[in-house]
A and B are shown apart, each in its own frame.
Chain A
Amino acid sequence: MARDYQACHDRVANTILGGIPDRVPLYFLTSEDVSARIAGLTIREMMATPEILAEKSILVNDYLGGDGMSLAANPYCGPFEGLAFARANGKPEAFVWKDYTTPFIREGVVCKTEEDIENLVIPDHTKVEPWPTIFKAMSIVHEKTGMGAGNAAPSLTWSSVQMLRGSQAYLDVIQNPDLLLKLCEKIYESQWDYYQAFCKLVGTPSHIFEAAYAFNQHMLSFDDAWKFEGQFIARFAKASGLPMIIHNCGFKPYHIEMIEKLQEEGVYILAVNASHPLDLDWWVKFREKFPEITIMGGLHVNAEMESGTEKDVENRVKEVIQKLGGDGRLIITPTCCMPWRVPMSNIKAVREAVEKYGTYPINIT
């Protein structure tokens, strides 16, 4: 059955804005793996032209079902910012294309030396591929479906720091924080250039989808996470004047501290898209603390989705809706990117479980 794009859009928007929709929305984050599998093309074939990328993105999202629409490429597009940096700085070989899985840049190649950071060229996002192709594809998808299909920010600072500087970045935290901050400033400059290109070529977005990977206890202290990423998120939010959805799929996230600090800085957070903690009771407490923030998550891509049975998937969806969905502000989202080995029967099971248990008013006994 064809998807009703308007209904999908309204369901998600209504939820994020605090209303009670007809049922709990379901959002699949597409990734290259799943997209290539469904579209039957390699990643490069899918990204060969904006028209192909748009067509296959709609195909993939329609096939998955649910209420989302995103490009048939990595949802936060971080790796492509790495590619743009590699190209702008004459190191395209640092980027490793894959046929059927997410391509990435080799970490630490673009900013190997201090001079590399000093001389780092910011990509012009209206010109350096793959961004023009991606922006055009976003526009086509929007034109055809009325749904937004892309992010108005390419990942965020720490993700780019790791791509460009590699493990040396962690030594810089102690040995050369000023140099690292200089790199962060340049990355911010690039993000702002991206945002302006997005506004020009796609349109003004309603919100920003940000990845906040630094905010994980296994990586940085909270203070360093704020210094090397948080302050840039806050700056971006203030400069754009837009609310944010924060993505963080690390396993020891500083969700609470990060949100409190961002809110102190005046950042309006619409939703948190996270994979961890897996314990739903933790999220019940989160809901009590931040009743106005929508929770996007509930399913782990490597747990129920990849390794579980259809019954496991159904049970998890039921429990998530029971514990977190009663008063809205919940979007079921397998997080983060789905591996290609996720059985299609499990994807179907998520859809069916959301239909079965997620219709408002929620009444699960």
Chain B
Amino acid sequence: MKECLIDVQNAVINMDDEIILDLVKKCLDEGLTPIGIIEEGLSKGLDGVGERFDAGDYFLAELIMAGEVVTVATDYLQTKMAPGESGKKGKVLIATVKGDIHEIGKNILGMILKASGYEVVDLGADVSAETILETMKDQDIQLVGLSVLLTTMVTSIKDVVEALTEAGIREKTRIAIGGACCSERLAEEMKVDAFGESAVAAVTIFDGFREALAAS
């Protein structure tokens, strides 16, 4: 692997927003493609951040900072891509469920997903099942991330699942949940496809969803 890509990875891991653009430009000068830089440099750097988060060495603050560093770099690389190239993994709809207006977790999820190459459609907080369904239909979205912090609002997740089922699109979609009161058990009870304990875990989950949907 070229040294400049390793430098990009390290800049992401070290959350160094001052040098990231110079490093990305250096990679381009050395003949690497924008998508190659995203996949081998930025994404691998984010993987490193995720490993540190899982190990308890990094926390939310570092995740957000690293996400910002990657976003700056990917926004720049988008301008250097050939027509038709996007480097995007597809759309993910994210929302805090009806009745809950806590947005921090959802915002962090959005930032990390965006940094990981997803186009994020953020509907905000206190979003009804109807609005989620409508947006998914209008924008042809299959992937959904629902955030809920309040123990009192978890059943709003079920409302979304039921709305998608009634509309006949549940089987073609994948839903992940996350937030302070969520768990594997809750995911099972709410009949969603996954529980993400962190924004880092969410990236792996949505990557898996994409593969599963592509294979189905």
Measuring CB to CB, which residues of chain A are less than 8 angstroms from any residue of chain B?
Answer: 31, 33, 96, 98, 101-102, 104-108, 162, 166-167, 170-171, 173-175, 217-221, 224, 249-251, 301-303, 306-307, 336-341
Q: For chain B, residues 66 to 123, give those with C-beta under 8 angstroms from any C-beta of chain A.
A: 68, 99-104, 107-108
**B180 near A250: Cβ-Cβ < 8 Å:** yes
A-facing mask of B115-148, CB < 8 A → 1, else 0? Answer: 0000000000110000000000000000000000
**A167 near B104: Cβ-Cβ < 8 Å:** yes
Q: How many A-B contacts if CB must be within 8 Å?
A: 90
Closest chain A residue to B126, Cβ basis: A96
11 new A-B pairs (CB below 8 Å) besides A96-B101, A108-B103, A220-B59? Answer: A31-B152, A101-B153, A166-B103, A166-B107, A167-B108, A170-B60, A249-B151, A302-B186, A306-B155, A338-B151, A338-B152
Question: What are 30 sample pairs from A and B whose C-beta atoms fall under 8 A apart?
Answer: A96-B101, A98-B99, A101-B99, A101-B152, A102-B152, A106-B103, A108-B103, A167-B64, A167-B108, A170-B60, A171-B64, A173-B61, A174-B15, A217-B59, A218-B198, A220-B59, A220-B60, A220-B61, A224-B59, A251-B183, A302-B183, A302-B186, A307-B185, A307-B189, A336-B151, A337-B150, A337-B152, A338-B152, A339-B151, A339-B153
A-facing mask of B167-183, CB < 8 A → 1, else 0? Answer: 00000000000001101
Closest chain B residue to A251, Cβ basis: B180
Q: Does B31 contact A (CB under 8 A)?
A: no
**B151 near A301: Cβ-Cβ < 8 Å:** yes
Considering the complex of A and B, which 4 residue pairs feature the smallest CB-CB distances, nearest first?
A173-B61, A339-B152, A167-B107, A167-B104
> Which of A96, A171, A217 gathers most chain B CB within 10 Å?
A171
Report the interface size class on chain B: 20 to 34
Closest chain B residue to A108, Cβ basis: B103
**B181 near A302: Cβ-Cβ < 8 Å:** yes
Q: Does B21 contact A (CB under 8 A)?
A: no
Per the bound structure, the CA–CA distance linking A221 and B101 in Å amounts to: 25
**A174 near B65: Cβ-Cβ < 8 Å:** yes
CB-defined contacts of A220 to chain B, threshold 8 Å? 59-61
